[in-house]
């Protein structure tokens, strides 16, 4: 009997673990506010070593200029950041200032966990067009763009040279041509090198759907049906048959690898999809200079490729903060002051404030400068800014990956996968 009871409790441990969130605490939210401008703020972000160092330096600079404000840093790592933020929010202890991601902004914003920043004087007047609206949920600005990002294809010129293949013209290439070029690289380079590393990711699906008059999401729900996504799965099969991409096993592994071990970085692929703010990291890890290419289009015209600016991350605030004015003041300083920009440069993405960008431009590294120029160059190619994924939509990339590997491993036909993918994505939306 004793064992029986113990086992019951052990079984309950799983339960206990999931409900720990109720009792877990993550440090008190700002208290001791008063009218004299003193404030005690928590600032949470995820990042890498460089960002942690920059952010700490910026916090110090702000506290020096505003001696009555005390900022407690809460650095984190992307994957655990969201578990922590969710439990903190549940326990009414969300940090005052929150580094937010597009995948989760609606999740929190629609549930009224984020502060309406414009109400307290958030200033985005100098932001470049197309960089503000992604932070709006239900008409309220709940996230201020912290850096501009855009999806790109990075190409390694050395691999192209070795294979004796010319780097394609990215202003005219179609998906079919991309497949042909990649297949040629695979065939000629040898040594296990393939044309494309990671390519079929959610941002590329988004681009593909937009080019076909659809979208990943609309304001109200899923923006596509099974017949719209079936050609996407068929395209993947075509890439696989042409050997433009690696084996299904390798692709699955690739998705779980840290950036510095991906195929492009270790010289095992000629091209790879990458967000623009990662280029510097790719260059550093690979020791080479990558070319920045536009992603392909259906029509073969860059102006028809429906590009967009994405906020690489946003600054949000807890709706329960006791210091809304102080919080917004800090965010304004972060995105609009040359002082802060000089510390962070373009590490969080290209600054959306055009004056700030002009001020720090001479200080940018060659890779960052290349990105800044690319982002300017593609202005004529921009289409509508995609809305943030609605609650329950943040994981669409994971769902897509799952059905993609079903197709790649031949466990499912493109038509079947398309239907199941749409069903599941719809049922996850709330």
Partner 1 sequence: MSVISELSHIKTDHPRSAEERRARRKAAGRDNKAGYLFLLPWLIGLFVITIGPLIASLYLSFTEYSLIEAPVWNGLDNYIRMLDDARLHNSLKVTFIYVVVSVPLQLGLALAIAILLDRGMRGLAFYRSVFYLPSMLGASVAIALLWRQIFGTDGLVNQILRVFGLDATTGWISDPRYALSTIILLHVWTFGSPMVIFLAGLRQIPSMYHEAASMDGAGRWHRFRHITLPLLSPIIFFNLVLQMINAFQSFTQAFVVSNGTGGPSDSTMFYSLYLYQRGFGEFEMGYAAAMAWLLVVIVGALTAINFYASKYWVFYDD
Which residues lie near partner 1 (CB under 8 A)?
3-4, 7-16, 18-23, 79, 82-83, 86-87, 89-90, 107-108, 111-113, 247-250, 252-253, 255-256, 391-392, 395, 398, 401-402, 405-406, 409, 411, 424, 428
- Cβ proximity of 188 and 164 under 8 Å: yes
Q: How far is the CB of 32 from partner 1 (least distance, A)?
A: 25
308 SS3 class: coil
> Residue 420 Cβ, how far from partner 1 at the closest point, in Å?
9
Please, are residues 331 and 317 in contact by the beta-carbon 8 Å criterion?
yes
Q: Where are the alpha helices (DSSP H) in 277-413?
A: 279-286, 324-336, 338-344, 354-360, 366-377, 396-408
Decide: 394 and 104 in contact? Cβ < 8 Å. Answer: yes
In whole angstroms, how close is the CB of 409 to partner 1 at the nearest point?
Answer: 6
Minimum CB distance to partner 1 smaller for 53 or for 411: 411
The nearer residue to partner 1, 23 or 125, going by C-beta atoms, is 23
In the complex, the smallest distance separating the C-beta of residue 288 from partner 1, rounded to whole angstroms, is 21
Write down the residue that tokens 């038509």 correspond to.
Answer: 415
How far apart are alpha carbons 153 and 393 in whole angstroms?
Answer: 25
Q: Nearest distance from residue 245's CB to partner 1, in Å?
A: 14
For partner 1, the closer of residues 233 and 334 by Cβ is: 233
Task: Indicate the residue among 152 and 318 with the shorter CB distance to partner 1.
Answer: 318
Nearest CB to partner 1, comparing residues 14 and 25: 14
Contacts of 175 (CB under 8 A, 6+ apart): 208, 235, 296, 297, 298
CA nearest to 185, candidates 156, 212, 207, 211: 156
Supply the minimum distance, in Å, between the C-beta of residue 19 and partner 1. 4
**Residue 377 CB partners (closer than 8 Å, separation 6+):** none
The answer to whether 229 and 422 have CB atoms below 8 angstroms apart is yes
> Cα dist. 196→26, 114, 167, 182, 224 in Å?
42, 39, 13, 6, 26
* Shortest spacing between CB 83 and partner 1, in angstroms: 5
When the beta carbons of 115 and 307 are compared against partner 1, the nearer one is: 115
Residue closer to partner 1 (CB basis): 16 or 299: 16
CA neighbours closer than 13 Å in the CB half-sphere of residue 236: 31
Closest to partner 1 by CB, 12 vs 221, is 12
The H-or-E segment that residue 248 falls in is helix 248-255
For partner 1, which is the closer residue by CB, 169 or 253?
253
Closest CB to partner 1 among 111 and 363?
111
What residues form DSSP beta bridges with 293?
Answer: 153
Relative to beta strand 39-46, strand 97-100 is parallel
Least distance from C-beta 42 to partner 1, angstroms?
A: 17
Q: Burial level of 173, CB count in 10 A (0-12/13-18/19+)? A: buried
Enter the tokens of residue 342. 């000089």
CB of 76 to partner 1, least distance (A): 14
Distances (CA, A) of 65 to 121, 173, 178, 186, 319: 20, 51, 52, 56, 26
């Amino acid at each position: 009997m004793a064992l029986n009871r113990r086992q019951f409790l052990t079984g309950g441990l799983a339960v206990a673990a999931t409900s720990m969130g109720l009792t877990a605490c993550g440090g008190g939210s700002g208290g001791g506010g008063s009218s004299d401008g003193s404030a005690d703020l928590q600032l949470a972000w995820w990042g890498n070593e460089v960002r942690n160092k920059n952010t700490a330096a910026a916090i110090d600079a702000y506290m020096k200029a505003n001696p009555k404000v005390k900022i407690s840093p809460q650095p984190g790592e992307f994957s655990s950041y969201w578990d922590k933020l969710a439990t903190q929010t549940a326990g009414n202890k969300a940090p005052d200032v929150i580094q937010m991601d597009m995948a989760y902004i609606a999740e929190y914003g629609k549930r009224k966990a984020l502060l309406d920043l414009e109400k307290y004087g958030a200033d985005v007047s100098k932001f470049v067009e197309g960089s503000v609206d992604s932070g709006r949920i239900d008409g309220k600005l709940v996230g201020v763009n912290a850096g501009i990002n855009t999806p790109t294809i990075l190409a390694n010129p050395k691999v192209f040279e070795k294979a004796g293949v010319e780097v394609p013209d990215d202003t005219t290439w179609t998906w079919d041509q991309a497949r042909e070029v990649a297949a040629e690289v695979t065939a000629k380079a040898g040594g296990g090198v393939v044309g494309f590393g990671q390519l079929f990711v959610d941002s590329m699906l988004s681009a593909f759907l937009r080019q076909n008059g659809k979208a990943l999401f609309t304001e109200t729900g899923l923006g596509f049906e099974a017949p719209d996504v079936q050609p996407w799965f068929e395209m993947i099969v075509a890439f696989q048959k042409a050997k433009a991409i690696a084996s299904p096993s390798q692709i699955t592994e690739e998705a779980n690898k840290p950036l510095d071990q991906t195929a492009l970085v270790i010289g095992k692929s000629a091209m790879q999809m990458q967000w623009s703010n990662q280029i510097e990291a790719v260059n550093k890890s690979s020791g080479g200079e990558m070319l920045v290419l536009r992603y392909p289009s259906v029509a073969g015209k860059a102006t028809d490729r429906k590009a967009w600016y994405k906020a690489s991350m946003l600054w949000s605030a807890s709706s329960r903060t006791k210091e809304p004015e102080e919080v917004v003041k800090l965010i304004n300083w972060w995105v609009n002051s040359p002082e802060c920009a000089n510390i962070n440069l373009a590490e969080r993405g290209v600054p959306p404030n055009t004056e700030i960008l002009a001020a720090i431009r001479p200080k940018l590294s060659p890779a960052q400068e290349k990105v800044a120029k690319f982002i300017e160059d593609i202005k004529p190619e921009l289409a509508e800014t995609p809305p943030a994924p609605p609650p329950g939509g943040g994981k669409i990339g994971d769902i897509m990956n799952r059905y993609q590997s079903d197709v790649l491993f031949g466990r499912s036909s493109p038509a079947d996968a398309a239907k199941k993918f749409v069903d599941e994505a719809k049922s996850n939306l709330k």
